[in-house]
Amino acid sequence: MKNLNSWSRLENLLKNRNVPIPSGAVQKLQQHWALIRTESREQNLTSIKSASEAVQAHYLDSLSLLWSASGPGFEFPRMGARVLDAGSGAGFPGIPLKIFRPDWRLVLADSRLKRVQFLRSAIKALRLVDCSAVHCRVEKAREKMPAAFDLVITRAMSNPRAAIRMIAGTAKQGGHVVLYAVRPDPPQEKLLVREAEKRGLQLTAVTDAHVPGRTGHYLICFRKLL
């Protein structure tokens, strides 16, 4: 019942934020979590053990893009957009977003082969269409994939400037890059903006993810100008 209540709270929060919920989406999130828990006997995908923690720390956090990304110059990706989740790990934020935006063409990239193998098995189990997993170091992503993504997202990197250096080249002109990160202090934010500008990115928004019970989690959004 505790787990059921956790997923029910997630569903209610999404409804309150006017996020459309595709048929069977919450069940697929639960299935994804069950796959992670099973796989965690073989490899460490997350330190979180309970569904209630996972709902808050992983699933709502991943889905926060659906209600929090905003600001001048940020256009939410169109139908059929090409999306890259760089450093996907267990599939966050890419898989939850794909479940809620099945029209997106998603690539999950990770540097660890065992994690990529898990992602491929999860894609198959969840029957996700137009979704693939690629074994690739994030810093080599530009070499392995063309700069053709409408949206590039990453949640795995603690250093926003390093993340920008690694993934800026994978977004196409007019596309967007979104970092799930703790908001930098003002001096670090200035350095981040400078780093982004060197790579043709313009800061469009720094938005609180608005995840209940989690403070300091932000979406840092950029637009690719060059």
Q: Which residues of the chain have pLDDT under 50?
A: 1-3
CATH assignment at residue 67: 3.40.50.150
Q: Which domain holds residue 84?
A: 2-224
Residue 46: C-alpha distances to residues 64, 182, 224 (Å): 19, 19, 32
Extended strands (E) in the chain:
82-86, 105-110, 131-135, 149-154, 171-182, 201-208, 217-224
Q: Mind listing the pLDDT tens digit for each residue in 45-104?
A: 999 999 999 999 999 999 999 988 755 556 677 788 999 999 999 999 999 999 999 999
Residues linked to residue 134 through DSSP beta bridges, in sequence order: 109
Report which of 134, 225, 127, 107 is spatially closest to residue 173, judged by C-alpha positions. Answer: 225
Domain count, the chain: 1
Q: Whole-angstrom Cα distance, residue 156 to residue 152? A: 13
Count CA within 13 A, CB hemisphere, residue 96. 29
Cα-based distances in Å from 133 to 78, 82, 87, 114, 181:
22, 13, 11, 11, 23
pTM for the structure as a whole:
0.93
Residue 217 has a pLDDT of 87
What count of other Cβ atoms lies within 10 Å of the Cβ of residue 5? 12
Q: What is the rounded CA–CA span in Å between residue 104 and residue 102? A: 5
